[in-house]
Amino acid sequence: MTTRQFGSPVLRKEDPRLVTGNGRYLDDLGHTAYEVAFVRSPHAHARIVDIDVDGALEVDGVVAVFTHEDLDGPAADRLPLLIPHPSIVAGRTGHALAKEDVNHVGEAVVMVVARDRYLAEDAAQRIVVTYEPLRPVVGIATSRDGDDLVHDDAPGNVAAHLLQEVGNVEVAMATAPHTLTLDLEIERSACMPMEGKGVLAHWDSDEQRMRIHSSTQTSTGVRAAVAAKLQLPLAQVECIAPDVGGGFGVKIMHPWPEEVLIPWAARRLDHDVKWTEDRREHFTSSAHERGQLQQVTVGFDDDGRLLALDVRFWHDNGAYLPYGVIVPIITATQLLGPYKPQNYRVEFWSLYTNTVLVTPYRGAGRPQGCFAMERTMDAIAAELGLDRTEVRSRNFIQPEEMPYDQGLLFQDGRPLKYDSGDFPASLAKLKALVGWDDFTAYREQAEAEGRKVGLGIGCYVEGTGVGPYEGGHVHVETSGRVNVATGLTTQGQGHQTILAQIVADELGVSIEDVYVTTGDTRRMPYAVGTFASRGAVMSGNAVALAARAVRAKALRIAADALEVSEADLQIEEGTISVKGAPHASIALSTVAVMSNPLRYAFDESAKAATQFAGAFDPDKPPVADEDEPGLEGKDFYSPTQATFANGMHAAIVETDPVTAEIRILRYCVIHDCGTVVNPMIVEGQVHGGVAQGVGGALYERMAYDETGQLLNASFMDFLIPYASEVPHIETDHLETPSPLNPLGIKGAGEAGTIPVSAVIASAIEDAEGFPIRSMPISPTELWDLRRQHARTNQETA
Amino acid sequence: MTDLDQTAPATVDVTLRVNGVEHTRTVEPRRLLSDFLRHDLRLTGTHVGCEHGVCGACTVLVDGDPMRSCLMFAVSAQEHEITTVEGLGTQDSMGPVQQAFVECHGLQCGFCTPGFVTTITAFIAENPDPTIDEAREAVSGNLCRCTGYQNICKAVVRAAEITRERADEDGAR
């Protein structure tokens, strides 16, 4: 009997390579390529007056120096606005190299190509750019004031404005027995993958072909963008995502300026060209996320049931808007979490600032939405003196109400309609795991020891697996090796393993025989990319469908050969046999040989398929009209809408009564991502997500000064949690399969990050007894809050 | 200030012993050890994540001690025994730390992993039976953005276990 792979904690196929130093990340390739360094703007907002590159040209080993003037064709035009949306009133994007002005510190102005990076940096230092500084717009409040503008033709600094309403908030609010208003704030953080971005381009002038390696989350996207920018036929461009050292969203943005410039330079110089982003560049010239100011007004009844929810928020989109308004749309819609607001109005303004642009970072707007909703839930509980889980319970969408349509349009332009989930069951599990009902005793004991502890909670729903589609290609070689290709890319999610698990089961082969390729446009030219926790949902189902096509074909050929009905056949461990008569069998590899009628016997196994090798029907063509040679199959999975995963987290924190230091004592997660392909990998995704959430809650922020200088653009100053800062994470799972796809998967990638700021805020609030309305929070800030509240209490007294 | 035109960078012959093999290359004296290993010797298992000694991805063993190869010149590493992740095992014959990372799902994207593998190798040489808390402390100088560290800590304890198991097997032979 073949062991079922699906659902098992199968060890990862990619690991032996990666742990022994045999990974191939971007900078591990192209050792003979020219290397690039950029001169980047030191100003947040300025006009470029003059660029003097003469000094650079004198440096031995410099090959070329390019400014915007050198760019030609579409490469000189503005970069694309990737996701147009009717709410965008002033969509501005930058140039690959700055043209007349710069709008954030770090914007690329001059590109230096040299024999190696050391020389390129030497030369870059000798370039003199003269700027006329303009008044920078930094911070959401400043941008909202609109006194100074980032872009002259974007009045009020407004890039986009959107209002969605379900029901009638005004009427419901006016008649609600209770109302509360909360002003909330979330600061910027960033993906910070351990490997920054990077691009290597190889131009084959004989074949007029471009091969790009990019540390990207979408190789098909980069390929199409480069073909357009360089005016090359798509057929002459290929893009490969090699091993990618983490993405978390920043690498779904494309084309980055460098993804246009490096191929452009490779063609111009007829030589391989490579750029590897350094850490400072990653801080100042890639992307950040999260920064929002929010105002929530909520109306509710005596039981804490929501009657009306009115949310306005101001979203900092940075200097440009290449990724459109996906992040604020997600905040606006996913804010609702597992709750029924009855009447909901949400309005946002997406604002320009002279800072690094904002594109999705793991969670992509959800952490902010979850923060708003969950702070509101806690505020209602506090106002009514109710248990916080009770208030949440009373507002839950019930399992029997699924599918539940929230009446809004989601980020994919389709209805925000939850497909599945059992929120009361998840909450019950969470309360049991963290010991919710026993916390009073826990707190009393801590208090007796002079310690201050608090318990926090946060619930979320995550729309995952958005379309439009992904594809799968499965090919069985005559050796029995099974090649699987899907177009989306991998940054550590273990796709080579989970997709092999799925195909091994579907096809009835050993997982050792399955080889998965992701993110290579040569193998699968139609794909979208890796984002929105969609890898397992989209490519998982696509490869399953492709494998089913291969299986059907193999059974058809085998049934002919064995002269039995297909229904009587089974495939196990790569052998097709007659059920109940295992001696009547044929290897899948043999079927692969038979599937491809040959003229030439290139090896021993091929002989069997040559034209004089056996009996055939002379009236039929070797390949039937409706058939194709080869044992392979391709299919695409394209869902009507997103699936909706969900989860609930709880944490116990301790705050030092004297120093206000914040320590997480316990962190508990209940997670429902539908059917689990590999529990070990899902668990790992949850751990990593929570760790990033902890960073965002307690440590990470982008410290911009009023001139738009990022003061902490290094790992010395931007505090990514080490092992010493991340708590042990306790997890439990609930599997409510999605009815929307054949495998029942809902996606797990981003989930862990989403509620963490809300949970930690909730726990600190519980420990301290005053509201926490701004995250992240440092000990200093908590200490200040304590003093503030002590003063207020004194004054009141 | 030095005028670059007047002093075209001189080169030096650098001889390093890496993973038991001696290599000589002619490089600029400012060549970092990380670049020398990666680009001159093409031992690309050592990764560079921050270029300023904070993340630990570039950690190699210098005479058995973990050091950040992005903060060291290649020329200063002469006369020392350098061990990179490639020297700690192969895909067919993984070292104990490598094996433990696979078993415990101690990696996701794998970019930081070589730095952890070298660091932990040195740690368990001195602490053959660490507790999970000691394991956490031991890896608290390396950044990982994927795993949340929980499985890395598990892998430290498991690596020590595998090391002991292998020693026992060797002893029994």
Residues B38 and B52 in one domain: yes
Residues B117 and B158 in one domain: yes
Boundary-marking domain end, from B39, B55, B87: B87
- Split into its structural domains, chain A has a count of 3
Residues A419 and A390 in one domain: yes
User: Does residue A16 fall inside a structural domain?
Assistant: no
Flag if A723 and B153 touch (Cβ within 8 Å): yes
Q: What is the mean pLDDT of chain B?
A: 94
> Any chain B CB within 8 A of the CB of A726?
yes
Q: What is the pLDDT of residues A680-738, one digit of tens each?
A: 999 999 999 999 999 999 999 999 999 999 999 999 999 999 999 999 999 998 999 99
User: Does residue A161 fall inside a structural domain?
Assistant: no
- For a pLDDT cut of 90, what percent of chain B falls above it? 91
User: Does residue B32 fall inside a structural domain?
Assistant: yes
Q: What is the pLDDT of residues A654-668, one digit of tens each?
A: 999 999 999 999 999
User: Does residue B5 fall inside a structural domain?
Assistant: no
Task: Give chain B positions within 8 Å (CB) of A362.
Answer: none
Q: What is the DSSP string of A447-463?
A: HHTT-EEEEEEEEEEEE
Q: What is the pLDDT of residues A731-778, one digit of tens each?
A: 998 999 999 999 999 988 888 999 999 999 999 999 999 999 999 999
Q: What is the pLDDT of residues A213-257, one digit of tens each?
A: 999 999 999 999 999 999 999 999 999 999 999 999 999 999 999
> Any chain B CB within 8 A of the CB of A715?
yes
Please state, in angstroms and rounded to a whole number, the distance separating the CA atoms of residues A619 and A175: 82
Q: What is the pLDDT of residues B143-153, one digit of tens each?
A: 999 999 999 99
Residues A209 and A335 in one domain: no
Residues B105 and B35 in one domain: no
Residues A113 and A238 in one domain: yes
Tokens of A687: 């751990």
User: Does residue A18 fall inside a structural domain?
Assistant: no
> Any chain B CB within 8 A of the CB of A12?
yes
| Confidence band for A601, pLDDT divided at 50, 70 and 90 | confident
Boundary-marking domain end, from B87, B121, B141: B87
User: Does residue B148 fall inside a structural domain?
Assistant: yes
pLDDT value for B8: 52
Residues B99 and B78 in one domain: no
> Any chain B CB within 8 A of the CB of A1?
no
User: Does residue B2 fall inside a structural domain?
Assistant: no
| Confidence band for B6, pLDDT divided at 50, 70 and 90 | low
> Any chain B CB within 8 A of the CB of A279?
yes
Disruptive mutation site among A15, A189, A753 for chain B (greatest number of B CBs within 10 Å): A15
Element (H, E) at A38: strand A34-40
**End-to-end CA, chain A:** 76
Residues B46 and B109 in one domain: no
Boundary-marking domain end, from B87, B113, B129: B87
pLDDT at B172 over 90: no
A454-458, A707-711, A749-753, B1-5: lowest mean pLDDT where? B1-5
Say which residue the tokens 């995963």 belong to.
A645
CATH number at residue B17: 3.10.20.30
pLDDT at A581 over 90: no
Task: Give chain A positions within 8 Å (CB) of B101.
Answer: 15, 19
DSSP conformational letter for A192:
-
Q: What is the pLDDT of residues A501-556, one digit of tens each?
A: 999 999 999 999 999 999 999 999 999 999 988 989 999 999 999 999 999 999 99
Please state, in angstroms and rounded to a whole number, the distance separating the CA atoms of residues A532 and A514: 26
Helix (H, G, I), strand (E, B) or coil at A346: strand
User: Does residue B110 fall inside a structural domain?
Assistant: yes
Q: What is the pLDDT of residues A127-158, one digit of tens each?
A: 999 999 999 999 999 999 999 999 999 999 99
pLDDT value for B9: 59
User: Does residue A156 fall inside a structural domain?
Assistant: no
User: In angstroms, what separates the C-alpha of A201 from chain B's closest C-alpha?
Assistant: 18
Average of pLDDT values for B73-88? 97
Domain span holding position A396: 292-466+640-796
Helix (H, G, I), strand (E, B) or coil at A652: strand
Boundary-marking domain end, from A606, A637, A668: A637
Disruptive mutation site among B108, B133, B136 for chain A (greatest number of A CBs within 10 Å): B108
Residues A525 and A477 in one domain: yes
Residues B79 and B129 in one domain: no
User: In angstroms, what separates the C-alpha of A654 from chain B's closest C-alpha?
Assistant: 19
Domain span holding position B93: 89-172
CB nearest B113 (choices: A18, A118, A680): A18
Residues A573 and A707 in one domain: no
Flag if B111 and A691 touch (Cβ within 8 Å): no
Flag if A193 and B149 touch (Cβ within 8 Å): no
CATH number at residue B119: 1.10.150.120
pLDDT value for A749: 87
Best CA proximity match to A160, nearest among A271, A26, A1, A326: A326
| Confidence band for B2, pLDDT divided at 50, 70 and 90 | very low
Residues A306 and A281 in one domain: no
Residues A632 and A745 in one domain: no
pLDDT value for A2: 57
CB nearest B55 (choices: A18, A28, A715): A715
> Any chain A CB within 8 A of the CB of B21?
no
Residues A777 and A721 in one domain: yes
> Any chain A CB within 8 A of the CB of B147?
yes
| Confidence band for B7, pLDDT divided at 50, 70 and 90 | low
User: Does residue A152 fall inside a structural domain?
Assistant: no
Boundary-marking domain end, from A621, A637, A653: A637
- Split into its structural domains, chain B has a count of 2
pLDDT at B5 over 60: no
Pairing of strands A482-486, A514-518: parallel
Residue type, A758: A
Helix (H, G, I), strand (E, B) or coil at A12: coil
| Confidence band for B131, pLDDT divided at 50, 70 and 90 | very high
Tokens of A677: 């392909």
- For a pLDDT cut of 70, what percent of chain B falls above it? 94
User: Does residue A153 fall inside a structural domain?
Assistant: no
The side-by-side arrangement of strands in the sheet containing A631-637 is A514-518, A482-486, A470-476, A631-637
Flag if B52 and A19 touch (Cβ within 8 Å): no
Please state, in angstroms and rounded to a whole number, the distance separating the CA atoms of residues A262 and A256: 10
User: Does residue B126 fall inside a structural domain?
Assistant: yes
Task: Give chain B positions within 8 Å (CB) of A714.
Answer: 50, 52, 54
Nearest CA in chain A to B138: A723
Task: Give chain B positions within 8 Å (CB) of A282.
Answer: none
Max mean pLDDT range (A163-167, A577-581, A604-608)? A163-167
Best CA proximity match to A349, nearest among A314, A381, A311: A314
User: Does residue A147 fall inside a structural domain?
Assistant: no
Flag if A688 and B108 touch (Cβ within 8 Å): yes
CB interface of A with B, residues 616-645, below 8 Å: none
pLDDT value for B1: 43
Residues B69 and B118 in one domain: no
User: Does residue A303 fall inside a structural domain?
Assistant: yes
User: Does residue B121 fall inside a structural domain?
Assistant: yes
Task: Give chain B positions within 8 Å (CB) of A16.
Answer: 91, 94, 98, 102
A184-198, A735-749, B25-39: lowest mean pLDDT where? A735-749
Nearest CA in chain B to A681: B105
Residues A482 and A618 in one domain: yes
DSSP conformational letter for A95:
B
CATH number at residue A127: 3.90.1170.50
pLDDT value for A411: 85
Q: Helix A257-269 to helix A219-229 angle, to the nearest 10 degrees? A: 60
User: Does residue B1 fall inside a structural domain?
Assistant: no
Residue burial A209-244, b: 16+ Cβ < 10 Å; e: rest = ebbbbbbbbbbbbbbbbbbbbbebeeeebbbbbbbb
Spatial contact of B114 and B85, defined as CB atoms under 8 Å apart = yes
pLDDT higher at A684 or B172: A684
pLDDT value for A567: 94
Boundary-marking domain end, from A262, A285, A308: A285
Residues B19 and B70 in one domain: yes
pLDDT at A615 over 80: no
Q: Helix A679-694 to helix A756-768 angle, to the nearest 10 degrees? A: 50
Q: In sequence order, what E strands does A124-205 have?
A: 128-133, 158-166, 178-186, 198-204
Tokens of A764: 């600190």
Flag if B151 and A278 touch (Cβ within 8 Å): no
Residues A487 and A616 in one domain: yes
CB nearest B98 (choices: A19, A248, A687): A19
DSSP conformational letter for A579:
T
Q: What is the mean pLDDT of chain A?
A: 95
Flag if B147 and A28 touch (Cβ within 8 Å): no
CB nearest B89 (choices: A20, A492, A692): A20
pLDDT value for A600: 81
> Any chain A CB within 8 A of the CB of B161?
no
> Any chain B CB within 8 A of the CB of A115?
no
Q: What are the φ and ψ backbone dihedral angles of A79, each rounded to 5 degrees?
A: -70, 155
Spatial contact of A643 and A746, defined as CB atoms under 8 Å apart = yes
CB interface of B with A, residues 31-90, below 8 Å: 31, 38-39, 42-52, 54-55, 57, 84-86, 88-90
Flag if A689 and B101 touch (Cβ within 8 Å): no
Q: What is the pLDDT of residues A388-437, one digit of tens each?
A: 999 999 999 999 999 999 999 888 888 999 999 999 999 999 999 999 99
Spatial contact of B110 and B49, defined as CB atoms under 8 Å apart = no
Residues A570 and A472 in one domain: yes
Q: What is the pLDDT of residues A258-284, one digit of tens each?
A: 999 999 999 999 999 999 999 999 999
Spatial contact of A223 and A325, defined as CB atoms under 8 Å apart = no
Residues B97 and B166 in one domain: yes
- For a pLDDT cut of 70, what percent of chain A falls above it? 100
Residues A438 and A504 in one domain: no
Best CA proximity match to A96, nearest among A138, A57, A40: A40
CA distances from A471 to A8, A13, A467, A538, A547 (A): 24, 21, 11, 8, 11
Residues B104 and B140 in one domain: yes
Residues B46 and B31 in one domain: yes
Residues B53 and B102 in one domain: no
